[in-house]
Amino acid sequence: MNGADILGFLRGPTTLEFLQQYLVTIAGNPGVSQQYNYYAYDDFGRLKINANQHASPPNAHQFQAHSIQMVESNAPGFVMGQLNGYVLDGAGSDIMVTGMLNGCSFIVKANGNDVRCAHVRPAQGTRGEDLNTNAMNTSQFHGDPGNVSVYGRLNYPQTATEGRSSTVLGVRKAGVWRIYQQQFDANFNVVSASQIF
């Protein structure tokens, strides 16, 4: 299966079924949140999505995606109660990606059919569980107050024997954004997948 075929399954209507069976890993773009070129390819039975063309094979399928920057929780000027979110609306690509979550929290808020989102990584030496709790208790988007939804380390917990990681991505279907999560273990086995927003 090539990258274009795989993206077709991801776009649906089979999105959730696809994520429950097919591992997706994303190497996100470290730049500010906006649309970027990404490269999708099958890597021995799993979908890899990479922002770096030179780290992708020549047959990788190029596509545009809304890319949500991973922001450090101790970055200068960062305030959990004044998040600078990125708005997913009806313009541009129908795919949203962000880098792999390894203790991070992904925060979303609906505004009609639009969704504002942010990806926050815990500062080095701090726990993802604490960041998740802080985000649930205090996170707000700058200039856009109101209830938010938080998906974080408490949703993809570490077990006694291994850590879990998570992929978060979005698909716009019939003008409405749907945000999904996929959890996988240290051996890259899919543990669960669900629609989180």
CA–CA distances in Å: residue 177 to residues 91, 106, 115, 117, 160: 11, 15, 7, 11, 35
Measured on CA atoms in the order 21, 177, 121, 54, is the torsion positive or negative?
Answer: positive
Contact 118, 68 (CB under 8 A): yes
> How do residues 60-107 score in pLDDT, each as one tens digit?
999 999 999 999 999 998 999 999 999 999 999 999 999 999 999 999
pLDDT band at residue 7 using 50, 70 and 90 as cut-offs: confident
Predicted structure pTM score: 0.93
Residue type, 160: A
Q: Which residue has the higher pLDDT, 129 or 1?
A: 129
pLDDT at residue number 11? 84
pLDDT at residue number 12? 79
Q: Is the pLDDT of residue 161 over 80?
A: no
> How do residues 15-38 score in pLDDT, each as one tens digit?
999 999 999 999 999 999 999 999
Length of the chain: 197
User: What is the C-alpha to C-alpha distance for residues 188 and 186, in angstroms, rounded to an integer?
Assistant: 5
User: What is the C-alpha to C-alpha distance for residues 158 and 128, in angstroms, rounded to an integer?
Assistant: 10
Domain count for the chain, please give it: 1
Contact 115, 75 (CB under 8 A): no
Structure tokens that stand for 68 in this block: 């949500």
Domain extent at residue 185? 3-195
Structure tokens that stand for 159 in this block: 């077990």
Contact 126, 174 (CB under 8 A): no
Q: Is the pLDDT of residue 44 over 80?
A: yes
Q: Is the pLDDT of residue 176 over 80?
A: yes
pLDDT at residue number 160? 67
Structure tokens that stand for 22 in this block: 């097919």
Structure tokens that stand for 16 in this block: 């959730």
Residue 75 burial (10 A CB sphere; 0-12, 13-18, 19+): exposed
pLDDT at residue number 165? 94
